[in-house]
Structure 1
Amino acid sequence: MPADARSPRSRPGAPPPESPQEEPSLGQLVSEVTSDVQQLFRKELELAKAELRQEVAKTGKAAGMLGGAGFAGFMVAVLASLAAVFGLDAVMPLGWAALVIAAAWAAAGAVLYVLGRKRLRSVSPVPERTVETLKEDAQWARHPTK
């Protein structure tokens, strides 16, 4: 048999030989999918870290406000109480004057506490956007053709 007869190109109607670069192998496809999934999870982790940083910053600001309110309230209570107690001493006994002033500052402290607690409740410890995108990724992984 001549060498030309064995070659698929020389036969009329025979398809041209496939080059190995036309279609990737199963191993290459699995490697690409694995790489894409790893990259996806890295991005999701970066998103979660960014969201947590935002929430930690909000928590820190709220805690700072509560601490500042506590310190300011303490200083005001001490100094204003002394002034008010001595002012009320002209009208009532010194002990009763001190008790009235202490009750007024307790009410102010309660208001500051309620406002600070309200701010802390607005902080979300769960990275909601990341959770949502992870759910979408999981659904895509289950049904990649949809």
Structure 2
Amino acid sequence: MTDQSERVAAVTREVEEGPPPSDRSIKEIIEALRPQLQELVSKQMELTKAELAPSGRRAGLSIGLLLTGAAFMLLFTIFICFTVVYAISLALPLWLSFLIVSVILLVLGAILAGAGAASLRKVDPVPRRSIRALRQNIDWVKGQLKR
């Protein structure tokens, strides 16, 4: 029993006291870790780029759709406005014809802009895996410096 008690006491002392201090200076430790840190940063950048690429493509597509919708809306507005205003002005005053056409165009524009905005809201720009990996890497470096 005493042998086991002595072991428990020894382990308890080691845990309480922490690891023995290193004879190496911080500069030596950093020099030893430099190649690993450089590779780690390089891999972290590759991971971040790979993770952000799909979100960037989706955001670009969404913005492209939004702009294309706006361009078609403008062309539609130019070509159809005069036709519709002319047709309505046959039965109503000209000012009321323009007002009716303007309200219709406003509703169409709002629908297209809403669809583009809803598509943009679905894009997640946060590189979650990269952040998690970076935190793990920081913890690893802290562990290396404690040795």
User: Could you say whether these structures have the same fold, taking a TM-score greater than 0.5 normalized by the shorter chain as the test?
Assistant: yes
Pairwise CA distance, 1:38: 2.0
Which amino acid letter does the alignment assign opposite residue 76 of structure 1? F
Pairwise CA distance, 1:60: 1.6
Pairwise CA distance, 1:30: 7.4
Structure 1 residues not aligned, in runs of 5+: 1-25
Structure number with the higher helix fraction is: 2
Higher RCO by CA contacts (8 Å cutoff, separation 6 or greater): 2
Equivalent-residue separation in structure 2 for 1:92 and 1:70 (angstroms):
29
Pairwise CA distance, 1:115: 1.5
Equivalent-residue separation in structure 1 for 2:135 and 2:73 (angstroms):
46
Pairwise CA distance, 1:33: 4.3
Equivalent-residue separation in structure 1 for 2:121 and 2:136 (angstroms):
28
* Bigger CA radius of gyration: 1
Matches within 5 A, 1:103-118: 103-118=103-118
Deviates more, 1:60-69 or 1:113-122: 113-122
What is the total number of aligned residue pairs between the two structures? 118
Equivalent-residue separation in structure 1 for 2:136 and 2:118 (angstroms):
32
TM-score, structure 2 length as denominator? 0.67
Structure 1 runs of 4+ aligned residues shifted over 6 Å read 29-32
Structure 2 residues not aligned, in runs of 5+: 1-23
RMSD: 2.5
Equivalent-residue separation in structure 2 for 1:84 and 1:31 (angstroms):
76
Q: What residue number does 1:66 align with?
A: 66
